[in-house]
Amino acid sequence: MFRDYLKELNEAQQAAVINTDGPAMVIAGAGSGKTRVLTYRIAYLLQQGVPAHRILALTFTNKAAGEMKERIMNIVGPEKARSLWMGTFHSIFARFLRYDGHYLGYKSNFTIYDQDNTRSLIRAIIREMKLDDSVYKPASIAARISHAKNNLITAQQYGAVPQITESDKASRVPEAANIYRHYAARCFKSNAMDFDDLLMNINILFRDFPGVLEEYRNRFDYVLVDEYQDTNYAQYIIVHKLSEKHRNLCVVGDDAQSIYSFRGARIENILNFEKDYPDYRLFKLEQNYRSTKNIVNAANSVIEKNAGQIRKTIFSKNDEGEKIRVIQTTIDSEEGIVTASDIIDTRMRERLNWKDFAILYRTNAQSRIFEEMLRKRNIPYKIYGGQSFYERKEIRDLIAYLRLIVNPDDEEALRRVINYPKRGIGDTTVQKLMELARALEVSIWSVISSPELSARHLAPALRTKVSQFTGLMLPLMAVAETATAYDIASGMASASGIITELKQGQVPEEIDRLENLQELLNGIKEFTESAVTNGEPADIATWLQSVALLTDQDLEKPEDRDKVTLMTIHSAKGLEFKYVYIVGLEENLFPSAMNIFNPRELEEERRLFYVALTRACRRVTLSYALNRYKWGSLERGSPSRFIGEIESEFLSYPQTGGKPFRQRAVFEPLPGTDSGEAARPLTPPAKMTRLRDARDRQPPSAVPGPSQAPDYELEEGDRVRHERFGEGVVVSVEGEPPNTTALIDFKSTGTKKLLLRFAKLTRI
What is the amino acid identity at position 436?
Answer: L
d(CA 50, CA 258): 32
Choosing from 34, 36, 325, 415, the catalytic residue is 34
Choosing from 221, 226, 487, 539, the catalytic residue is 226
3-state helix, strand, coil in the chain (%, to 5): 50, 15, 35
Task: Label residue 607 left, alpha or beta by phi (over 0 means left) and psi (-120 to 50 means alpha).
Answer: alpha
Contact between 350 and 65 (Cβ < 8 Å):
no
* Parallel/antiparallel/unpaired status of strands 111-113 and 85-88: unpaired
For residue 358, give the 3-state DSSP assignment.
strand
* Parallel/antiparallel/unpaired status of strands 324-329 and 616-625: parallel
For residue 257, give the 3-state DSSP assignment.
helix
Contact between 331 and 625 (Cβ < 8 Å):
yes
Quick one: 399 exposed, middle or buried, by C-beta within 10 A (0-12, 13-18, 19+)?
A: buried
Looking at the DSSP bridge assignments, the partners of residue 651 are 324
Which residues have CB under 8 Å from 563's CB, separation 6+? 354, 355, 380, 381, 382
- Cα-Cα-Cα-Cα dihedral sign, residues 345, 351, 355, 360: negative
d(CA 420, CA 509): 18
d(CA 759, CA 500): 55
Contact between 309 and 637 (Cβ < 8 Å):
no
Q: What is the CA radius of gyration of the chain?
A: 28
d(CA 200, CA 206): 10
For residue 420, give the 3-state DSSP assignment.
coil
- What is the secondary structure of 24-42 as a DSSP string? EEEEE-TTS-HHHHHHHHH
What is the amino acid identity at position 613?
Answer: L
Peptide bond into 738 cis (omega under 30): yes
| Residue 226 among the catalytic residues | yes
Choosing from 13, 20, 231, 257, the catalytic residue is 257
Q: How many CB atoms lie within 10 A of CB 6?
A: 15
| Residue 208 among the catalytic residues | no
Contact between 184 and 437 (Cβ < 8 Å):
no
- Interhelix angle 485-495/460-478, rounded to 10 degrees, is 160
Choosing from 100, 221, 227, 397, the catalytic residue is 227
- How far from 580 is each of 151, 334, 620, CA to CA, in Å? 36, 18, 5
Length of the chain: 764
Quick one: 633 exposed, middle or buried, by C-beta within 10 A (0-12, 13-18, 19+)?
A: exposed
Choosing from 35, 551, 553, 749, the catalytic residue is 35
Q: How far apart are the first and last CA of the chain?
A: 72
Distance of CA 573 to the CA centre of its chain: 10
| Residue 257 among the catalytic residues | yes
The H or E element that residue 91 is part of is helix 89-100
- How far from 627 is each of 340, 652, 685, CA to CA, in Å? 19, 22, 16
Looking at the DSSP bridge assignments, the partners of residue 87 are 58
d(CA 233, CA 221): 23
d(CA 670, CA 324): 14
d(CA 620, CA 325): 7
| Residue 241 among the catalytic residues | no
Choosing from 312, 615, 619, 757, the catalytic residue is 615
Q: At 743, give phi and psi (nearest 5°).
A: -95, 120
* Parallel/antiparallel/unpaired status of strands 85-88 and 55-59: parallel
d(CA 375, CA 565): 13
Active-site annotation, residues: 34-35, 226-227, 257, 615
